[in-house]
Structure 1
Amino acid sequence: MISDGMAELLRSLRLGGVVDPARACAKALQAEGVVLSLLVGRDADATAEPVWCHPELSTRFDELQFTLGEGPGPEAVRTGSPVMEPDLARVRPDRWPALLPAAHDMGVHGVCCYPLGIGAIRVGVLTVLCDGDRRLSEQQYKDATALTAALTGALLNGGPRGGDGIVREFDMSLDPPPGLRRAVVHQATGMISVQLGVSMEDALLRLRAHAYSSELPLGEIAADVVARRLRFDDDMSGPYSPDGGKG
Structure 2
Amino acid sequence: MEDRRQRLLDLLAADRAARPASAVALACERCVLELSVSGVGATVLSRLPGSNGDGQPSRGLVHATNAVSAGLEDLQLTVGEGPCLDAFASGGPVLVADLEAETTRWPAFTPAACELGAAAVFSFPLQIGVVRLGSLDLYRDVPGPLNRMELTDALILSDLATQGVVADLDGHNVEDVSWLADPHLQVHQATGMVQVQLGSTTEVALLRMRGYAFTHDMTLAEVARQVVARSLRFTKDKDGQ
Pair in the same fold by TM > 0.5? yes
Partner residue of 1:84? 95
Report the 3-state secondary structure (helix = DSSP H, G, I; strand = E; otherwise coil) of the residue aligned with 1:59: helix
> Does the Cα contact within 8 Å between 1:12 and 1:18 map onto a contact in 2?
no
TM (norm. structure 2) is: 0.82
Find out whether 1:49 has 2:60 as its counterpart. Answer: yes
Map of 2:42 onto structure 1: 36
Q: Note the C-alpha offset of 1:17.
A: 4.5
Q: Distance in 1 between matches of 2:165 and 2:66?
A: 24
Write the mapping of 1:1-247 to structure 2, written as runs, cut at 5 A. 1=1, 2=4, 6-12=8-14, 17=19, 19=21, 21=26, 22-39=28-45, 43=53, 44=55, 46-91=57-102, 93-156=103-166, 158-159=167-168, 179-235=181-237, 238-241=238-241
Q: Work out whether residues 113 and 126 of structure 1, in 8 Å CA contact, stay in contact via their aligned partners in 2.
A: yes
Does the 8 Å contact 2:37/2:139 carry over to 1? yes
Count of matched residue pairs? 225
Encode CA deviations 1:14-64: one digit per residue, 9 max, x unaligned: 768555623333112221100011225674475223432112111111111
Asked whether the 8 Å contact 2:62–2:183 carries over to 1, the reply is no
* Percentage of identical aligned residues: 34
Identify if the C-alpha distance between structure 1 residues 27 and 49 changes in structure 2 by more than 3 Å, giving closer, same or farther.
Answer: farther
- Describe the superposition over 1:120-173 as per-residue Cα deviations: whole angstroms up to 9, x where unpaired: 3111210011352422111110011001112223433x44678xxxxxxxxxxx
Contact 2:38–2:139 (8 Å) recurs in 1: yes
Between Structure 1 and Structure 2, whose CA radius of gyration is higher?
1
Tell me, in whole angstroms, the C-alpha distance in 2 between the residues paired with 1:178 and 1:140.
30
- Cα distance in 2 for partners of 1:77, 1:30 equals 23
CA spacing shift, 1:176–1:184, aligned 2, 3 Å: closer
Change (3 A) 1:176 1:31: farther
Structure 1, unmatched stretches of 5+, are 163-174, 242-247
Q: Could you tell me how far apart the structure 1 residues matched to 2:56 and 2:150 are?
A: 32
One-letter identity of the residue aligned with 1:39: L
Instruction: State the distance in 2 between where 1:179 and 1:73 align.
Output: 19
Partner of 1:169: none
Distance in 2, matches of 1:124 and 1:13, equals: 23
User: Is 1:35–1:126's contact at 8 Å kept on the other side of the alignment?
Assistant: yes
1:53-100 CA-to-partner distances (Å, cap 9, x unmatched) read: 112111111111111110000111111111111211232x22111111
- 1:89 maps to a residue whose letter is E
Query: Distance in 2 between the 1:85 and 1:45 partners?
Result: 22
CA distance in structure 2 between the partners assigned to 1:226 and 1:11 by the alignment: 42
* Higher alpha-carbon deviation: 179-188 or 66-75: 179-188
Checking the alignment, whether the CA contact within 8 Å between 1:130 and 1:136 is kept in structure 2 is no
